[in-house]
Each structure stands twice: as structure tokens, then as C-alpha cells.
Amino acid sequence: MHIRYDEKEEYLKKEMEAAKITAVFGASDAGRDFIESMHGCVDCVIDNRAGSLKQFCGLPVYPVDHVADMGETDVIIVTSRSFWNIARQLEKTGYRGRLYSQNAVKIRSYFHEDDLEKEGVAEFVDCRCGHENLLMVVAGFQPYYWDDVLLRVKENQKLFDEKLDVCICVPNGGGDSTALKNKCVENGWSFFHIDTNQLAKAQNIAILLHPEARWIYKIDEDIILPRDYFGRMKREYPLAEEHTRRNIGFLAPVLNINFCGTEVFFNTLDLVDGFEKEFGRLIYGWNEAPFYSGEAGRWIWEHSIPFDRVAKTFETGNALKYHFCDLRFSVGAFLCERTFWIDLGGFTVAPEGILGVEEIQMNEKCINAAMSMVIAESIFAGHMGYGSQKDAIREFYEEHRTDFGIGW
């Protein structure tokens, strides 16, 4: 099966004209609209209700296993926002043809890659290589962390046994990013900044600029990565699905300051009693001490260094252990498949300065689509805290720089 993640509508039409068979997956309102818009170019419909449903829009309806007989040049278009699940379902049948998401086609067709100024891109340093793995780093606001954070990105890129495109994206409001751009040029990474302070828009553009990327890694500029982060996350993804018996929306590392990750952090290092002696009862919830108190943030980081030594504790002690996020996941670091982003319809872009909308979107999608938000307990990464903790944790970081140096 050849999944075409991102193509414009005119390309899809050419593919449909060249195909012996063109099918739409899903007898739905979206399917009807698409069939009618194609003016006779669709030959049949694939639907799990075949048998009880014989025809749809005057076209024959076939069961899913029918696709095994379709050829390599044939085309199936998925018109629902369940592309991820349907792609996996079709893959199991042995389908050999081409698979498109109408949602992805719409997203791509509205993207002006040939005129990035229309997308609000003020500057673009293009170092793309067309790899199937993409790391996007949202940056521009906390330059005091760049040396350590980006050095660890660079060294992890070297350790990764696959190829990885890196793209640094800077929303407006992040200040002077000249130094950041220079680091990208030095390391062969792509860089762009947009003229609005919209983090979701920047991430959408980063993904659209890399249409070959099937796997999407995302980190913020204040995330400290452990050794072999990219390789271990990629290897843990299928293991997590196998051992949890879940379909995964996205996989995340254990972040020391992050609602769900903090629970794993405290339990792994046996820190609950010590924390409660200092700060009272530990609650993993909104406006609780681990997530708003600067002193609590310092305390957490005191128990997170030397960073690589602590990370090794998780790696050796938590093999094949996974934690399900039962609280809102804060998306500072994660790995997902491109199909997940396609099913979202891209990240929802909020008005300037409003944060967390894409975060809510990802959480809601996983719950509503019966997909799990999973933390790999063996992979520890550091987060430099939330807004009210930032100053105290930055001060701690500057006092303990040597403990953040690479020690693997």
C-alpha cells in the first residue's frame, strides 16, 4: 500500500484518471459530497456495512476485503477523519494501491508553498532532505536554554540509526532569532519564523513543508533530551501498542514537570513522601504545587540532576512500562504519525497569543477516537516548567549548568 500523505487536489484528480478503479472509503455525507464533486470519476464505495448496504450514490458498495483484489495503480480516497484507523485496516487486507486522505488533500491544497509570504512566513532557511522522520522545535522565547537543548538535539540526531529532518519554527513574539537561525545553518537544519504569535500555525507549516515525513517528533525549546531519544521513541512506539493492546494517538517521554509525566517521575524515584514534607499533599492537577510553584519546580529539578544519570535510572528500571494519560496532556514533547495530524485536520490555529488550543484538540481526538495518549516510562526528558515557575527554574539551571552537560 502506498499512502500519499499530502498531495494537492489537481494531482489527486490525475491519479484518479489514470487508475483502473477509484474507490471512496465510507458511505457518509462527506463521501457523497466527494463523489458528486468528482463528476463520475469514482467507480465504487468501500464500507464496513457492505451487505446491508448494496448501493450508495448509484455506485456499488463492497466490503473491506474487496480491496485486496485492487491493483497498484488503483486509488482509494478516505473522506472521514478516521484516516489513521482506516489506513491500518486496509494495510491488513494486503491492499497494494494508492491511499489518499481527502482531509490531507484539502489541507495541502490551501497551502501556498510556492509563495510562503501568503502563509505569513517572514524568512525560510531551507535545509530539507525529504526524510520520513521530522523533528519540529518550537522556539524563539527562551534563548538561555538553546545551547544545551540544541546540542542534545544534534548529538541525538547523530545517534539515530535513521535519517531525520530538523525544522526550527519561530512564532512572532520570540524576539531576535538571528542566533537561532545561525545554529540551524551550522547544523544543516531548516528554520523559519512567521509574522504572528501562533504556535499551532507554525507547527502546521513545519509539517506541510515536509510532505514526506511520516513520523512527527515535536519538542519545545525548553525540553532536555536523554541519550538516543529519537531511536528509543521510535522503537517504543510499536512496543507500546503491542504491550498495552491500544491504538496510540501519540507517544511521549516522562517529563518531570507535566501533569501525567510528573506522576511517573515521582513514583519511579520514590519522591512522594519527600515532596509532601516540603509542600504538603501532592496532587497531580491544575494550579497544584508541582505545576505553578517556583520552589516546587526547583525541588523537582534538584532531583532530576545530574540529568543523564537520572535518565539512566528510568531507562534501566522502567523497561516496557507504559503510563496512560488520564489527565490533560501538555504537549511539550511527543511523537505521532502523520496520519494522526491529518485526522485532526491540522492543528487548530487560535488567535494570536492564545495557547493550548492544539493541546486540547489532541486530547479530545484521542478520547473520542478511542486512541491512547501513552507515556514511555523508560524515556525521561526534562521540562523547564510552566509560566509561574520559569524564573526560579531558569535561576536553578544557571546555577547547575554542569549537571546539564552531556554525560552519556
Spatial contact of 168 and 190, defined as CB atoms under 8 Å apart: yes
pLDDT along the chain (408 residues), means of 10: 74 87 93 90 92 92 93 92 88 92 84 88 95 97 96 98 97 82 97 94 95 96 98 98 95 95 96 97 88 96 98 98 92 94 92 88 93 97 96 98 94
3-state helix, strand, coil in the chain (%, to 5): 45, 20, 35
Sequential DSSP letters for 113-160: TT-GGGGTEEEEE------SEEEEEE-SS-GGGHHHHHHHHHHHHHH-
Q: Where in the chain is the domain with CATH 3.90.550.10?
A: 118-404
**pLDDT value of residue 172:** 85
Burial of 70 by CB count in 10 Å (0-12 exposed, 13-18 middle, 19+ buried)?
Answer: buried
**pLDDT value of residue 61:** 95
Sequential DSSP letters for 152-210: HHHHHHHH-SS--EEEEEE-TTS---HHHHHHHHHHT-EEEEESS--HHHHHHHHHHT-
CA–CA–CA angle 154, 160, 161 (5° rounding): 145
Cα–chain-centroid distance for residue 382? 18
Rg (alpha carbons) of the chain, rounded to whole number: 23
The 8-class DSSP code of residue 31 comes to H
pLDDT digits (tens, 9 = 90+) for 145-190: 999 999 999 999 999 999 999 999 999 866 788 999 999 999 999 9
Q: How crowded is residue 184: how many other Cβ atoms within 10 Å of its Cβ? A: 21
**pLDDT value of residue 1:** 77
Q: What is the CATH number of domain 118-404?
A: 3.90.550.10
**pLDDT value of residue 6:** 62
Architecture label for domain 2-109: 3-Layer(aba) Sandwich (3.40)
Compute the half-sphere exposure of residue 166: CA atoms within 13 Å on the CB side of its CA: 27
Tell me the C-alpha distance between 219 and 139, whole Å: 9
Cell (9 digits) for 202: 507554525
Closest CA to 22 of 58, 73, 66: 73
Q: Where in the chain is the domain with CATH 3.40.50.20?
A: 2-109
**pLDDT value of residue 11:** 81
Tell me the C-alpha distance between 329 and 55, whole Å: 43
Q: How crowded is residue 110: how many other Cβ atoms within 10 Å of its Cβ? A: 12
pTM of this prediction? 0.92
Q: How crowded is residue 155: how many other Cβ atoms within 10 Å of its Cβ? A: 15
